[in-house]
Structures are given as C-alpha cells and as structure tokens.
C-alpha cells in the first residue's frame, strides 16, 4: 500500500506552489468501505475545518500515484472558499492546478461525489471501471464485457488503461 501521509504531504506542497489557499484539514482518513466514491470532503460542525477521506483502493501499489494524488487535490479544492460544490470557483481552481501542476482534475460525474455538499445523488450503479490515467469512471448496469475484462479496453478520453473499481470477474490474462 502506498504511503498515504507522504502523498498528502506532496499534494499540500504542490498546492502551495500554486498559491491556492486551502482550508484546514484536521483529519485524513483512509476509507476502506466506500465503493462508490474515491474521496470525500466534509466540513466539521465548527464550520472551519475539514475532514477528508480517500478510498483505500486508490492506495493500491498497482495504481499510479496520480490516481490518489488527483483525488486528494480534488478534495482539498473543496476546502477552498466558495468551493464546496463543483461550481465556478472550484472549476477555476481545478483548471489552475491542471495547467500549473499537470493534473487532470475535473468534476466527477460518478458516485464518487455522491451526497456530499449538496451534490445530487446518483442512481445506483452496480459496476464500474476507472481510467487509471485520467480518473474517468465508466459505469455499467450490467456485467458487460468492459466490466469483465477492463484491461482489454482503453479510456475513450485519454487512451489510458482501465482498472476495475468494483469486484469483477476480471481474469488476469
């Protein structure tokens, strides 16, 4: 498993380079249960500090560091002023990060962002695979060929390799 603390540290110092002022995160958590989201940012009852959790799946050594790092930064951007949803402020900062640090952070259209900060709940999805390069999530209702063998397909956006997000019957070949 990847060193979560080290990834956080790297992300914070990268963000510092851009001059973006993020909020005070008092708790970082590895979420071992969430299957439908990569990360989550919650504001604490004091209204000032935040709690961020990242899916344990992203800390798998088989994934590039960028998968976890872009999620960490995505969530950190939610701690910025006016950025609790994916509105114009959040998008502006995401594009700064993307152009200055070479990330590909965008608003997820997936259950990854479910329910937090007033985002619309997404319909229940049984299966999904994720692009290991850009983070695009492909959801399927049925156990399609894509779900069964994600390694045989490439991301439609960036051409990156795909990896299973939910348990699949993916046979290593």
CB of 169: closest distance to Zn ion in angstroms? 23
Taking the complex as a whole, the smallest distance from the CB of residue 82 to Zn ion amounts, in Å, to 14
Task: Please provide the DSSP assignment of 50-63 as one string.
Answer: EEEEEEGGGG-TTS
The number of residues making up the chain comes to 173
Q: Which residues bind Zn ion (CB under 5 A)?
A: 113, 131, 133-134, 136, 155, 157-158, 160
- Residue closer to Zn ion, measured from CB, 113 or 139: 113
With contact defined as beta carbons under 8 Å apart, do 114 and 86 qualify? no
To the nearest whole angstrom, how small is the minimum distance from the Cβ of residue 133 to Zn ion? 5
Q: Cα 129 to the chain's mean position, in Å?
A: 13
Token output for 17? 């380079």
**What's the token pair of residue 4?**
């979560």
Instruction: Give strand pairing partners of 139.
Output: 128
Q: How far is the CB of 150 from Zn ion (least distance, A)?
A: 12
Among residues 59 and 158, whose Cβ is nearest to Zn ion?
A: 158
Max Cα-Cα span within the chain? 51
Indicate the residue among 14 and 39 with the shorter CB distance to Zn ion. Answer: 39
Which residues make Cβ contacts (< 8 Å) with residue 104, sequence separation at least 6?
70, 98, 133, 134, 135, 158
Task: Pick the closer one to Zn ion by CB: 57 or 136.
Answer: 136
């Amino acid at each position: 498993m990847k060193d979560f603390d080290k990834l956080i540290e790297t992300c914070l110092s990268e963000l510092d380079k851009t001059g973006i002022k993020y909020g005070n995160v008092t708790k970082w958590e590895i979420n071992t249960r969430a299957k439908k989201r990569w990360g989550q940012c919650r504001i604490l009852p004091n209204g000032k500090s935040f709690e961020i959790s990242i899916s344990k799946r992203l800390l798998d050594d088989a994934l590039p560091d960028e998968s976890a790092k872009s999620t960490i930064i995505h969530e950190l951007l939610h701690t910025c002023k006016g950025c609790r949803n994916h509105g114009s402020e959040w998008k502006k900062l995401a594009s700064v990060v993307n152009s200055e640090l070479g990330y590909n952070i965008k608003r997820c259209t997936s259950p990854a962002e479910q329910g937090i900060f007033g985002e619309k709940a997404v319909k229940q999805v049984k299966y999904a695979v994720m692009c290991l390069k850009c983070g695009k999530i492909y959801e399927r209702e049925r156990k399609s060929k894509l779900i069964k063998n994600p390694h045989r397909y490439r991301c439609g956006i960036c051409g990156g390799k795909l990896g299973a997000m939910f348990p699949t019957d993916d046979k290593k070949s």
